[in-house]
Every structure is written in structure tokens, then in C-alpha cells.
Amino acid sequence: MFIVTGGAGFVGSNLVRELNRRGHTDILVVDNLARCEKARNLSDLTLSDYLDKREFRARLDAGTLDLRPEAVFHNGACSDTMESDGRYMMENNFGDSKALLHWCLTRKIPLVYASSAAIYGTSPDFAPIQGNERPLNVYGYSKLAFDQHVRALMPDIQSPVVGLRYFNVFGPREQHKGRMMSVLHQLLHQLRETGVCRLFEGTDGCDHGEQKRDFIFVGDIVRMNLHFGGSRMVKAIANAGTGQARTFNDIAKILIANLGEGRIEYIPFPAELVGKYQSFTQADVRCLRAAGYEAPFTGLEAGIAATLTET
């Protein structure tokens, strides 16, 4: 069996879908369906059990979670980068992750968990080393705090543990995320509603719409999770990106070309985001390759085309 936390979310539900496609249905999904629209991501999937995240954490703390999964894929987190309640963020992203980590380590169960490129903040260097880690918000710090905890334990860990620092993931099954949807889905929604893609004017030395991010298709993220969830002994914290930054203008133009209509409009950069915005990200993937992941990445054009067939 497998455990997928955040299994009703964007990455988690895509991961469950791929497990199903590979013939696995003995899957425990852990999530919080207080936002009931997320349940739509589970409606076409097959799983053997579901637990609310609070009950799951209670069982971890009480020592009553008597399971022996082949691997745990931990994607459950509060991913709202604008969340200002630091206590809530740390309990969700650090406390829950720490409890699950130690449960896995005690039983020597492979753990693959979602970290984040938000850890790098405005750093110009994206190698996963301490000097480059400058989170701009409590979300980024919560992810960094857990990575630091894993690092401290790493010399003594005797089972596979891999942290994947997700860059800008896009693809199907993220419509429920509201303001935290990927740039692609936000622009797609704008195009379909108004015929206009609204991009930020130039900032941080970028021309209008030329801010760059490392956009990675969710299918690649799923393949990374399943690769590292195998029984081979790997201990690593690595970037989950393509290593190639593309502009917001690129995203908009590809969408317009696929839809056959639309235009781009540039809007003033929000004052509340000044000093809190990543205008450039590009994964350094050397650690990912060194950890044994050799598969090629889906190109941006192909990933967008695949997303549009399901959206």
C-alpha cells in the first residue's frame, strides 16, 4: 500500500491517478476537505481509505497508526504564500511533517516530501545549499525549517528520505487552488473570461511580462515522486524543476496560440508585493541528477498542450 498526504490536492491527486494507472489501488489518502471542492479531484480515483489530516496526526502522535506502506508521499501542506498566521503555518508545514518523518524513520519506510523553491526567496543562485536559502515569507520559512530538521538527522537516517523543492508546478487538477493557482491557470482563466492576459509591468530589472520562472509540468513531479519512492537507498534534498526559466510572456503567448484568440495587457506591479516577489527562478538540477533521477523534462509547450486537453 501507499500513503499520499494532500491526496485531494493538485500534486497529490495527480500522484494517486498515476498510481492507479500503474495498477495500485491500495492507497490511503490524507487531506482536509473543509474546502469541499477538492473532493472533485478524488471522484475519478480509486483508493482504499481516507483520513482527515487531524485524525492522521492524532494517530501519529498516539502511536496507533499501524500500517506498513511501501512508501509515503507527503504533499499535504498550507501552500498559501500570503498566509500571515505563522503559528498555523508552522504547525501545518513543520509540525505535521516532523511527526510523519519520525514515524517513517522508526519503521524505515521510504518518505518523499514536498519542499519548495520559495526557500530561495530573491537569491540569484538556486543550488540547494544554506547560503542560498533566503525565504521571503513564513510559508518559505516553514519549508526551510523542515528541510533543516531533515539535514540535521541525515547522517543517522537509515531509510530513503527525499525532499523535492518544487518550482512552479502547473497542470490539470489545480482549479480548486484559487489565488494560489499556477500562473498558467490564472492566465487561462483570464483569457476564457475576458480574452485578456494581464501580466505585471516590469520590475526588478525585467521588462513588461519578462519575469521568469522555472515552470515544471505536474507529470514530471509525479514521476520524480514515484522514482524516489522506490526501495533504493537515497537521502537527498534536491530541486524539482527543469533548469530552464521561461517568461510570463511565453506562457501567455502559448496559451493565446492554443486558444486561437486573446491579447496581453500589462498592469502595474502591486505595491504589497515589492520585496516579496520572486521575479526569477531557475532550478539547479545537479543534485537531482546526482540522486539518480535521469528522466527528461516535459517542454513548456507540450505541458501546456497536455493541460489544456484536461481543463
Which residues are part of the catalytic machinery?
A: 139, 177
Phi, psi (degrees; rounded to nearest 5) at 249: -60, -40
DSSP lists the bridge partners of residue 52 as 31
User: Any bridge partners for residue 198, and if so which?
Assistant: 265
Alpha carbons 171 and 158: distance in angstroms, whole number: 34
Q: How far is CA 23 from CA 27, 82, 262, 279, 296, in A?
A: 11, 38, 41, 41, 24
Q: Give the three cell numbers for residue 254.
A: 502559448
Tell me which amino acid residue 35 is. Answer: R
Beta strands in the chain (DSSP E): 2-5, 27-31, 49-52, 71-74, 111-116, 161-166, 168-170, 196-200, 212-213, 215-217, 235-240, 246-247, 263-267
CB hemisphere CA count around 164 (13 angstroms)? 33
Spatial contact of 46 and 21, defined as CB atoms under 8 Å apart: no
